[in-house]
Amino acid sequence: MKAIVYSQNDLPIADDTSLYQIDLPTPQPGEHDLLVKIAAIAVNPVDTKVRHNAPVTAPRILGWDATGIVEAVGAKVSLFKPGDEVFYAGSIVRPGCYAEYGLVDERIAGRKPQSLSSAEAAALPLTSLTAWELLFDRLEVGDGNNEAILIVGAGGGVGSILTQLASKLTHLTVIGTSSRPETAEWVKSLGADHIIDHRKPFAEQLTALGIDNVRYVASLTHTDQHYAQIVDVLKPQGRMAVIDDPVTLDAMPLKRKAISLHWELMFTRSMFQTADMQRQHDILMEVSKLVDAGKLHSTLGEHYGKITAANLRKAHALIESNKAKGKIVLEGF
């Protein structure tokens, strides 16, 4: 099968060998695995982070967002059968989806929304899982009555779906941050009640909206840059969830307000084979239903054409520029 790989982690994305195509044997499913013929993929910041930070001794396939058709199943598979269309984010400790075929444990895959194309559906799994787990498993928002959430970096992939989930499935007042007019318009269209500029002081802008402080903060990017402001605008006994990679994060400033800090990593369940691993299947099935009911929408931002090394290098370059809006997808070999 064709696969796009990297074998050196210190190469700039402009280098033609930073991502390149090779031929590999088609993998065979284990007991709980689906063998999926991949139709479309999405590119995420984690792809670029792994490429930069994870040295390898053999070519590695990146990519953790895919849609496709099940071609074969493992001996203990019960949730899917050959011919089913699925979407999934996979496991970071297994080969990714920059390939013609991929393996995924059935317990972290869901049925592709019928109302979406393969490319539209590929934009959803990783960010939907991250946003859902952050909102309901980590922050434990519930219905959010009379409370507000501040989403720092609301225009990115996770922010785009988190804004929808918070606005459609809770009663929270949703405040997103953005620094560009086009991104602000995007976030507003996804259901945010208010937009503030993350280049300007948070407290002043919230006060101007008549909001003194917020119960919840989802910090999706540049947490270390905004940390002091986040602590300032959180209510006593508020909750803060983080997904990015600050160099360090001192929890002591949270003590005075008894603020709780929550890390969200959607790969944790599959990485450690947790007892509740199948919750990710359940979340994706619910996301699929909500999409087909018209309550959630794909966050596809850019379609970069076929799955080639050149197009993937282009996608990585855009993500590294921090100017991506929504999700970048590629489709077919």
Say if residues 127 and 158 touch (Cβ distance below 8 Å).
yes
132 and 253 both lie in a single domain: yes
304 and 326 both lie in a single domain: yes
Flag whether pLDDT at 322 surpasses 80: no
Q: Which residues have C-beta within 8 Å of that of residue 190, sequence separation ≥ 6?
A: 154, 160, 163, 164, 167, 297, 299
Per the structure, the count of domains in the chain is: 2
Amino acid sitting at position 189:
S
100 and 181 both lie in a single domain: no
What integer best gives the mean pLDDT of the chain? 95
Q: Which of 216, 246, 263 is the last residue of a domain?
A: 263
Q: Which domain holds residue 22?
A: 2-124+268-331
Q: Which of 205, 240, 263 is the last residue of a domain?
A: 263
Q: Which tens digit of pLDDT belongs to each residue from 152-176?
A: 999 888 998 999 999 999 999 999 9
Q: Which tens digit of pLDDT belongs to each residue from 176-186?
A: 999 888 889 98
42 and 109 both lie in a single domain: yes
Residue 191 belongs to a domain with what CATH number? 3.40.50.720
Q: Which of 236, 263, 290 is the last residue of a domain?
A: 263
pLDDT at 113: 98
CB burial of residue 14 (10 Å; 0-12, 13-18, 19+): exposed
Residue 44 belongs to a domain with what CATH number? 3.90.180.10
Flag whether pLDDT at 324 surpasses 80: no
How much is the average pLDDT of 302-309?
A: 96
